[in-house]
Structures are given as structure tokens and as C-alpha cells.
């Protein structure tokens, strides 16, 4: 069966997703139309294609423990000079994203992995382009704002053409929060995510 490259992310919904994708393309980022606008939970990861059913089962379990949360984007940031990236900042929902990505990459799961950089939830709007275009992206989107209720995440696969395609969506669990070990059923320490 071979290997596939997968990623897990929270999609930025319409009309925000298309608008930011068009802006990214407008700054000269050639990869813009092959990458749906998103907040990463699992960066590109090569896995055995035969492991996909186990990965989907794991993600279903993670989603089942998650809860909807407010997501708000506000302003820009950059990872330069460490990494040639300009992004829109996650102003609300970052804690929930951080909790989710830890669950996705859990050491006991099928996609356990270390990250190259510390996790920082964001929405990339320019990557690896000329410095002048990076500066323009940073300035032009500095007052960008968007918000929506985050109700789940999705599994994506990168095709041979470099385009990321959604394989499956995972909605967060029902209204009842499952009890944690040692916690009463009515209360739970799981973040609202």
C-alpha cells in the first residue's frame, strides 16, 4: 500500500477561508490554492497507508472527548527570522487547540510524534516568499478579524500534486462530558474544546 502524507487541522470556515486563501495567493504564495485555510493540529506526517483506519479511529475518540469552543482570529504575527512565515493570530481558542493537538499526537496513539518547533496555533497567510511580500502580508492583514464556533476538525491527505484534500471530518462529542477518573460526573477538568 505504501505511505501517505496526512495532516489534521481545524478548517477556517467560509467566507473567511476563501478570503484568506485568496489573500495568500495575492501575496505570491504559490502553494496557497493547494492548502485549505486552517489551524494545524498535526503537521504533515508520513504514515503507512494501512494505518489510516487506526488513525481515523483515534481521531474519532479524540473528537468524542472534545467540545465546541469559540475561535477568534485577530491581527498578524510572524515566525521570522526562525521560519519564513506570516500568520493571522488565534486570539481565542488557542488553549483548546493546544489541548487538541496534544491528544492527536498522544504517545499512545497511532500518530505520536515530536514537533520541530513548540506548538503555536495560527493561520498561515504567507510562507517562503519574498521578504517584501511577507512584510505586505503582515501589514495588510494586521487588522483582520474573524470568529466562529469551532465544532470539530478534519483529516487531510496530501496528493502527489501537492494539494491537500479532506478525507474525513470529526465533529466534537455530544453535550454530556464524560467523567474523568476521580472526578464527579457533573464536573470535568477537560478543557472546553
Per-residue pLDDT tens over the stretch 96-135: 999 999 999 999 999 999 898 899 999 999 999 999 999 9
pLDDT at position 116 is 87
Per-residue pLDDT tens over the stretch 1-30: 799 999 999 999 999 999 999 999 999 999
Residue 26 or residue 176, greater confidence: 26
Given a cut of 70, whether residue 189 has pLDDT beyond it is no
pLDDT at position 154 is 97
Per-residue pLDDT tens over the stretch 120-131: 999 999 999 999
Q: Is 83 exposed, middle or buried (0-12, 13-18, 19+ CB in 10 A)?
A: exposed
CA-wise closest residue to 150 among 6, 13, 20, 7 = 13
pLDDT at position 176 is 41
Global pTM reads 0.87
Per-residue pLDDT tens over the stretch 41-86: 999 999 999 999 999 999 999 999 999 999 999 999 999 998 999 9
Amino acid at each position: 500500500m505504501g505511505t501517505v502524507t496526512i495532516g489534521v487541522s481545524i478548517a477556517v470556515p467560509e467566507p473567511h477561508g476563501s478570503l484568506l486563501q485568496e489573500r495568500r495567493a495575492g501575496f505570491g504564495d504559490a502553494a496557497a490554492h493547494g492548502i485549505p485555510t486552517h489551524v494545524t493540529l498535526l503537521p504533515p506526517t508520513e504514515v503507512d497507508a494501512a494505518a489510516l483506519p487506526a488513525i481515523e479511529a483515534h481521531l474519532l475518540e479524540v473528537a468524542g472527548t472534545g467540545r465546541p469552543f469559540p475561535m477568534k482570529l485577530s491581527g498578524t504575527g510572524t515566525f521570522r527570522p526562525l521560519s519564513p512565515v506570516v500568520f493571522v493570530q488565534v486570539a481565542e481558542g488557542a488553549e483548546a487547540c493546544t489541548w487538541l493537538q496534544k491528544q492527536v499526537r498522544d504517545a499512545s496513539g497511532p500518530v505520536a510524534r515530536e514537533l520541530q518547533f513548540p506548538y503555536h496555533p495560527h493561520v498561515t497567510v504567507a510562507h517562503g516568499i519574498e521578504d517584501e511580500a511577507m512584510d505586505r502580508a503582515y501589514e495588510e492583514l494586521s487588522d483582520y478579524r474573524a470568529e466562529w464556533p469551532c465544532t470539530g476538525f478534519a483529516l487531510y491527505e496530501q496528493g502527489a500534486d501537492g494539494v491537500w484534500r479532506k478525507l474525513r471530518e470529526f465533529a466534537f462529542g455530544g453535550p454530556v462530558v464524560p467523567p474523568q477518573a476521580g472526578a464527579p460526573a457533573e464536573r470535568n477538568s477537560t478543557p472546553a474544546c
